[in-house]
Amino acid sequence: MNKFRLLWIVCGLLALAGCTDTADNPARTIELKNFSNTGCKKDHVRTRSDNTNKEVFNYSCIHEGFLYVTHQNAIFNCCPIGLGAKISVEDNLLKVVEYESDGLCDCMCPFDLSYEVGPLVEGKTYILFVSQGGEESKVAEFEFQNSMTGEWERK
pLDDT at position 92 is 94
pLDDT at position 95 is 96
pLDDT at position 121 is 95
How many angstroms separate the CA atoms of 5 and 82, rounded? 56
Across the 155 residues of the chain, what is the mean pLDDT of every consecutive 10-residue run? 47 40 58 95 62 83 91 91 95 95 86 96 94 85 92 83
Model-level pTM?
A: 0.75
Q: Look up residue 92 and give its DSSP letter.
A: T
Which residues on neighbouring strands pair with residue 89, listed in sequence order?
Answer: 94
- Which amino acid does the sequence have at 86? K
For residue 110, whether the previous peptide bond is cis, meaning omega lies within 30 degrees of 0, is no
How many angstroms separate the CA atoms of 46 and 30, rounded? 36
Please say whether the beta carbons of 136 and 130 come within 8 A: yes
How many angstroms separate the CA atoms of 8 and 20, rounded? 21
pLDDT at position 37 is 96
How many angstroms separate the CA atoms of 98 and 139, rounded? 13
pLDDT at position 135 is 80
Domains of the chain: which residue ranges?
A: 28-153
How many angstroms separate the CA atoms of 105 and 81, rounded? 10
